[in-house]
Amino acid sequence: MPTKKIFILLPDGVGLRNFAFSNFYKIGLEKKFDITYWNNTPFDLHSLGFKEIKINNAKSHPLTDSYKNARKHIELNLNIRRENDKVYDTYRFPFAYKNVKGAFKSYFARFLISLYNSDKGLMKVKSKMKTIEKKTDFYKQCVQTLERERPNFVFCTNQRPVLAIAPLLAAKELKIPTGTFIFSWDNLPKATMVVETDYYFVWSEHMKSELLKYYPDIKEKQIFVVGTPQFESHFDEKNLIDKVQFFNDYGLDLNKKYICYSGDDITTCPDDPQYLSDVADAVRKINEQDNKSLGLIFRRCPVDFSNRFDEVLARNKDLIVPISPIWKKIGEQWNTILPTKEDVELHASTIFHTEMVVNLGSSMVFDYVCFKKPCAYINYDVSNRVNEKWSVSKIYNYMHFRSMPSKKAVIWLNSADEIADKIRLGLEGNNETIEHAQQWFEIINQSSPKEASDRIWEAIELIAD
């Protein structure tokens, strides 16, 4: 049987962790695939021994961003109309008017929304977006690449970037099958789908149901339930740094046990510094009252390079050790901040060498349950909020939290005063919390999480056959 040539399209850097820094490539080679990364990131995949074709000068049509934003808003409007649920309004971002170019894009998007705010109108917006992308030099470049290389399948690692549209349209033009991976557990209710492909790879049956609900034109036979490579690294002992080395490398005290505080970006949690301070106060209280020796590791959000935590860290430098993710900042936008292979090890080792995690509503609950460790969710507003319009209630009303089968899946921190007692509960090894978190994990991600890459390649094998 001839070797099948597979293109792995990386339209931006967010797919690197799942599909370059995991065992995904190695497993594909073992299955005798000829794999080429179609790489639109600044990262040099040759350095990892991968075959790659660099995408140069990728540029979407000047109006595509406006059409993308219009599509998003129309989809959210239609979801509200169908379900009578205002949660979809919370997924909108404000239009930008800071400069002439940004203002034009915003006004044009708003014009499109007013003109095409219906199911039929949505189809016209999608069609027009494809038409204008086919007029770009980038599209012509993609056609030339695919005509020369003739892969059997193009697999897109992320459904969100506009720069994925042209390569996938070029493949469709040449009758090459295409597929896309739905990147994150919260993406589908947010109307983040930008591309249209022949096949869709989702984390779970739950996500499959969401895909069919929000995109009824997609048929069940087009969907493969595969899980996500995001958690695979946690099950590979080679990614775990030895305790003595880890503690020495990051200036940790071998006589202490550590709790991890995992930060969010400033939009998701503008009050993160105050929450970190509250947790530090609680840990200090436990140490004094219980004669404990606990410390805090602060892992900031990888795309947060702000100085907003500096004052809290300086005030608690005897207690908090910041261990920042090893990501590279290539540009100013969040999607130009790239993960690294080194951070895969650091992330897994931070979890392995800490007792529990505290944060506001992130998927770290699933990272920690991979290690049978609990997560505590911040669940109160501080008195001096940075943004009076922001509240934790907004976060936990998001659609993806409705997949939680039991509120016992996390330890809820409902006020600053109860953090100490709740941390004590977490340190006791609350098996009930971990059991419920595991049940939640199995809803949002396919069972046997370490086999996700295998399942993806099995699906690709069926498609490319």
pLDDT value at 154 more than 70: yes
* pLDDT tens-digit series, residues 325-334: 998 876 555 4
The span from the CA of 247 to the CA of 250, in Å, is 5
Q: Does 336 have pLDDT greater than 70? A: no
C-alpha span between 437 and 441 (Å, rounded): 6
Task: Answer with the residue of higher pLDDT: 389 or 123.
Answer: 123
pLDDT attached to residue 332: 56
Could you report the per-residue pLDDT of 72-81, keeping only the tens digit for each? 999 999 999 9
pLDDT recorded at residue 338: 84
**Greatest Cα-to-Cα distance within the chain, rounded to the nearest angstrom:** 70
pLDDT score, position 262 = 98
Concatenate the DSSP letters of all residues of 312-362 into one string.
HHHHTTTTEEE-----EE-SSSGGGEE--HHHHHHHHHHHHTSS-EEESS-
Give residue 331's Cα distance to chain centre: 18
- Rounded Cα distance, 432 and 438, in Å: 10
Closest CA to 116 of 63, 73, 61, 160: 73
Task: Report how far residue 175's alpha carbon sits from residue 318's, in angstroms, rounded to the nearest whole number.
Answer: 61
Q: What is the DSSP letter of 157?
A: S
> How far, in Å, CA of 358 to CA of 365, rounded?
9
Q: Residue ranges of the domains in the chain?
A: 5-60+136-228+449-464, 64-132, 233-444
What was the pLDDT predicted at 327? 86
**If you average pLDDT over residues 175-181, what whole number do you get?**
98
| The dihedral formed by the CA atoms of 382, 385, 387 and 390, expressed in degrees to the nearest 10 | 10
CATH topology of domain 233-444: Rossmann fold (3.40.50)
Same topology for domains 5-60+136-228+449-464 and 233-444, yes or no?
A: yes
Do 127 and 66 form a contact (C-beta atoms < 8 A)?
Answer: no
Domain range 5-60+136-228+449-464, CATH class: alpha beta
Predicted local confidence at residue 292, as pLDDT: 87
User: pLDDT-based confidence at 192, cuts 50/70/90?
Assistant: very high
Quote the distance between the C-alpha of residue 411 and its chain's center.
23
pLDDT tens for residues 307-317?
999 999 999 99
